[in-house]
């Protein structure tokens, strides 16, 4: 069974093509266009090989989607409605799904949700302390990445209590027990929790009330908190860790931004030791987690009192594979994530005739 995977993000469309059940990556021929390829470009580039199913990542599945869903009109309408909760993300998936339906009208499309992995959150982790009639709760995101990384850690024998830090442009931390999410730092939307590239993360809700009273519009606050905050807001130069690391030595604002980023991560890791009653392994993944030895060191240094001890040579070795970088009582790993293969697995399982 050949599964095409489409993972639309805010800056680009990532893709993969796999043969299941053996998960062999298949080659997509280079597309003709000079711009970043669209879903249609990719489908045309594959035209020589059968596409038996298409998996599309959808960020917000709300309370309705606890599992991958084969797309029909009602599923598509529900994903569209959930754009209310993820206005930056869900419309991208809707656009991709519509494109695939036009190009491959007979092929099953499976929507795979970033929120689904967190359906196991216990009420104490899912609840905000507000009246239930508001209908707001914590959902959590980056579920495909956490699902992939926790399976890898299980295969590596890392133990039952895991804390995974998915540190990319969007960033979150997840506490995982026996393969199940028990707490995570993003909540109702992907804005809660860590300092991100351009998102503020945790913020006193009083700040928002204050800015509203000062006459800021909803659109302005949306842009401020999603696009002009986080590393970019604090540094006043860039939301990109690589650029900040180059600037940090001579730029106190870049230095503060990186330190604040790491400080927030380390506080969440310590908090999730409470959620798990201790921890067996800490793992880093995504762009920053996989590639920035300096950010990993900043985070782990603050956690040394817990028994986190990073081996400097292992941490700094220029490698891109799975590796253990900690020699302390809590194992520290770098695990490159692979959301695409995880989407493919889910699409293969959901599209398979029963
Ligand atoms: P992602 O959203 O997972 O693609 O991660 C993007 C983030 O990873 C950006 O902040 C990049 O600056 C950061 N990143 C990627 N490669 C490196 C690197 N070699 N060193 C430091 N940061 C990196």
State the average pLDDT over residues 277-305: 98
State the pLDDT at residue 352. 77
Render pLDDT for 300-339 as a digit per residue (tens, 0 to 9). Answer: 999 999 999 999 999 999 999 999 999 889 999 999 999 9
What would the mean pLDDT of 163-189 be, rounded to a whole number? 97
Task: Provide the CA 132 distance to its chain's centre, in angstroms.
Answer: 27
State yes or no: is 220 an active-site residue. Answer: no
Confidence of residue 353 (pLDDT cuts 50, 70, 90): low
Q: For residue range 263-275, what is the model confidence (pLDDT) as tens digits?
A: 999 999 999 999 9
**Of the residues 89, 146, 232, 241, which should be mutated to test ligand 1's pocket, given the most ligand atoms within 8 Å of the CB?**
241
**Which one from 41, 72, 73, 114 is the annotated catalytic residue?**
114
CA of 247 to the centre of ligand 1 (A): 15
The 10s digit of each residue's pLDDT in 88-134 is 889 999 999 999 999 999 999 999 999 999 999 999 999 999 999 99
Q: How confident is the model at residue 86 (pLDDT cuts 50, 70, 90)?
A: confident
C-beta separation of 330 from 304 below 8 A: no
Asked if residue 103 lies in contact with residue 42, where contact means CB atoms within 8 angstroms, the answer is no
Please state the atom number of ligand 1 nearest to the C-alpha of residue 286.
Answer: 3
Whole-Å CA distances, 117 to 139, 140, 281, 345: 9, 8, 19, 14
Contact, 136 vs 128, CB < 8 A? yes
Distance CA 64, CA 18 (A): 28
Mean pLDDT, rounded, for 70-90: 93
- Euclidean distance between CA atoms 80 and 90, whole angstroms: 7
- From 142, 291, 320, give the residue whose CB has the most ligand 1 atoms within 8 Å, as the site to mutate: 291
Mean pLDDT across the chain, nearest whole number? 95
Cα–Cα–Cα angle for 67, 68, 70, rounded to 5 degrees: 130
Calculate how far, in angstroms, residue 242's C-alpha sits from the geometric centre of ligand 1.
6
Residue 10 confidence (pLDDT) above 80: no
- What pTM value is reported for the model? 0.96
Q: Given the DSSP bridges, would you call strands 161-167 and 281-285 parallel, antiparallel or unpaired? A: parallel
pLDDT for 285 equals 98
Return phi, psi of residue 138, to 5°: -90, 130
User: Residue 346: CA atoms inside 13 Å, Cβ hemisphere, count?
Assistant: 30
How many Cα neighbours within 13 Å face the side chain of 252? Answer: 0
Q: What is the residue with the minimal CA distance to atom 22 of ligand 1?
A: 242
How confident is the model over 186-245, as pLDDT tens digits? Answer: 999 999 999 999 999 999 999 999 999 999 999 999 999 999 999 999 999 999 999 999
Ligand 1 centroid to Cα of residue 243, in Å, is 9
Give residue ranges with CB within 6 A of ligand 1: 168-169, 197, 240-242, 245, 286-288, 291-292
Pocket test for ligand 1, best of 89, 242, 254, 265 (most atoms within 8 A of CB): 242
> Looking only at Cα atoms, what is the longest distance across the chain?
61
Q: How, if at all, do strands 281-285 and 323-324 pair?
A: unpaired
CA of 261 to the centre of ligand 1 (A): 13
User: Which one, of 42, 68, 56, 55, lies nearest residue 2 by Cα?
Assistant: 55
Q: What is the pLDDT of residue 164?
A: 98
Q: List, for residues 21-46, the tens digit of each pLDDT value.
A: 999 999 888 777 778 889 999 999 99
Residue ID of nearest Cα to ligand 1 atom 15:
287
Q: Which atom of ligand 1 is nearest the CA belonging to 245? A: 21
Can you give the pLDDT at residue 81?
Answer: 95
The total number of residues shown for the chain amounts to 354
- Look at residue 354 in the predicted model and tell me its pLDDT: 61
- The Cα–Cα gap between 198 and 216 comes to 19
Cα separations (Å) of 247 from 186, 237, 238, 252?
28, 9, 10, 9
Atom nearest to 197 CA in ligand 1: 10
Phi-psi region of 236 (alpha: psi -120 to 50; beta: other; left: phi over 0): left
Ligand 1 midpoint to CA 49 (Å): 33
Is the model's pLDDT at 142 over the cut of 70? Answer: yes
């Amino acid at each position: 069974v050949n599964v095409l995977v489409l993972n639309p993000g805010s800056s680009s469309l990532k893709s993969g093509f796999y043969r299941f059940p053996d998960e062999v990556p298949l080659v997509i021929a280079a597309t003709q266009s000079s711009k970043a390829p669209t879903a249609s470009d990719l489908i045309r580039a594959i035209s020589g090989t059968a596409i038996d199913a298409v998996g599309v990542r959808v960020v917000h599945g709300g309370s309705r989607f606890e599992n991958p869903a084969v797309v029909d009109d009602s599923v598509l309408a529900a994903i569209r409605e959930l754009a209310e909760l993820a206005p930056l993300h869900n419309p991208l998936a809707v656009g991709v799904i519509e494109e695939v339906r036009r190009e491959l009208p007979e092929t099953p499309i499976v929507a795979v949700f970033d929120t689904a992995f967190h359906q196991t959150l216990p009420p104490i982790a899912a609840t905000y302390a507000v009246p239930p009639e508001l209908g707001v709760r914590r959902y959590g995101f980056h579920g495909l990445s956490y699902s992939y990384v926790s399976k890898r850690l299980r295969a590596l024998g890392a133990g039952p209590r895991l804390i995974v830090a998915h540190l990319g442009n969007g960033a979150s931390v997840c506490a995982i027990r026996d393969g199940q999410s028990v707490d995570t730092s993003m909540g109702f939307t992907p804005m809660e929790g860590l300092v991100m590239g351009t998102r503020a993360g945790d913020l006193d809700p009083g700040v928002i009330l204050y800015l509203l009273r000062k006459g800021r519009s909803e659109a302005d606050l949306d842009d401020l908190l999603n696009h002009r905050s986080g590393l970019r807001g604090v540094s006043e130069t860039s939301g990109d860790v690589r650029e900040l690391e180059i600037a940090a030595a001579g730029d106190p604002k870049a230095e503060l931004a990186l330190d604040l980023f790491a400080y927030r991560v380390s506080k969440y890791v310590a908090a999730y030791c409470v959620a798990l009653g201790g921890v067996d392994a800490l793992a880093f993944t995504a762009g920053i987690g996989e590639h920035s030895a300096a950010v990993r060191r900043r985070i782990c240094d603050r956690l040394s009192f817990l028994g986190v001890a990073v081996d400097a040579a292992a941490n700094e070795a220029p490698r891109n594979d799975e590796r253990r970088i900690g020699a302390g009582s809590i194992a520290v790993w770098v695990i490159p994530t692979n959301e695409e293969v995880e989407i493919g697995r889910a699409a293969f399982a959901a599209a398979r005739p029963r």
